Amino acid sequence: MKLLLVLCAFVAIGASNAIPAIPGDNSHYVEGESRYIWMPDGEGKPVLVDLHEPVDEELLKTRNGANNQYWLFTRRNPRNAQVIRINQPNTIWGSNYLGSRPLKVIVHGLNNNGHTPMNPLITAAFLAVQDCNVIVVDWGALANTAYSTAAAGTPNVGEHLGTFLTWLFNTAGGNWNQVHLVGFSLGAHVVGNAGRRTGNRPARITGLDPARPGWANSANRLSRGNGQYVEAIHTDGHLLGIFIPVGDADFYPNGGKNPQPGCFTSLCSHGRATELFASSVHHPNRFVGRRCNTIWDAELGNCNGNTFVMGNAVINKRGSGLFGLHTNRYWPF
């Protein structure tokens, strides 16, 4: 069946200018008009997603934020996770968590889980530059379902994360002024909802190419005000990633859209945001943006205003505006 869909994808392109029903790639995707879009699976391979697929309401009763897993990493256990379970304080006391340390939280996107490469990549970057607690949120039970269902459950995942963080701090200590939430794709909207649930107290929220399909006009998307400072890095705007500004500061490397240097598909460009962020943590001043007058200037790369650094792990980072910059093809970009 999957092979038949792939073959149909190329037949359906045709010679007309109409939006194809089943596209060969995402170049013809139009928000609100296209039904199908290619998204990456857990291994980064393209899978065809039907955006009109009904939400599985019955599945959401058993796969939701209550299934979140919280994996703790510190410099004492940089690779082997210690699982902390809400309302089970002994899981904190038996872990390496220290409330006096800064807290970093990482949230993956669709078809991913806690083992997805972006998680160890960003975790290692944080621990390399700072003695901190890093919590990787595994919400794979829901994320590995149909996009429509995973997206419908995303706010609930974020609300449970916010509740967990409040419990964690009340139980074992912590400082909201030392909290940095980082989310990729649907995970960006997860951390936005987590921020709202905690009264917008996290010091910093970073959205890595926040998911676009169905989110541009959603009240539940990542937004400015979800934390004390909200930043977004856009790398596949207009396709898998949202292009409109959503934070205090929005960065548009290489125009903020596909193709990013070294990428040939929107799937690669979408994931590039995670790599750019990890690199920026290792190299805090590597990516210097220039302020753009308009979002059109950001897309065209015509930005010559004041400078502002993209990414990094600085917890008290503050700034606002649209910023453009250029990066390279390969790590560290």
Examine the residue annotation and report whether 236 is marked as an active-site residue of this protein. Answer: no
Query: Which member of 25, 209, 236, 248 is catalytic?
Result: 209
Instruction: Identify whether 209 is a catalytic site residue.
Output: yes
Candidates 268, 270, 282, 271; CA nearest to 313 is: 282
Amino acid at 14: G
Q: Which of 193, 188, 184, 192 is nearest to 270 (CA)?
A: 184
H-helix segments, the chain:
2-11, 57-60, 90-93, 118-129, 140-143, 147-172, 186-197, 266-282, 295-300
Instruction: Give the bridge partners for 288, in sequence order.
Output: 309
Retrieve residue 29's tokens. 């995707």
In one letter, which amino acid is 330?
Answer: Y
Q: Is 223 a catalytic residue?
A: no
Residue 39, SS3 per DSSP: strand
Q: Which of 189, 174, 224, 219 is nearest to 204 (CA)?
A: 224
d(CA 22, CA 6): 9
Alpha helices in 179-319 (DSSP H): 186-197, 266-282, 295-300
Cα-flanking dihedrals φ and ψ of residue 179, to 5°?
Answer: -105, 130
266, amino acid identity: S
Q: Residue 204: what residue type? A: R
Give the other-Cβ count within 10 Å of 57's Cβ. Answer: 9
Q: Among 34, 223, 270, 280, which one carries the catalytic annotation? A: 270
Q: Which residues contact 47 (CB under 8 A, 6 or more apart)?
A: 38, 39, 40, 41, 111
Catalytic residue among 34, 148, 185, 269: 185
Q: Which two tokens stand for residue 272?
A: 């590039």
- Cβ-contact 175, 206 below 8 angstroms: no
As annotated, the active-site residues are: 185, 209, 270
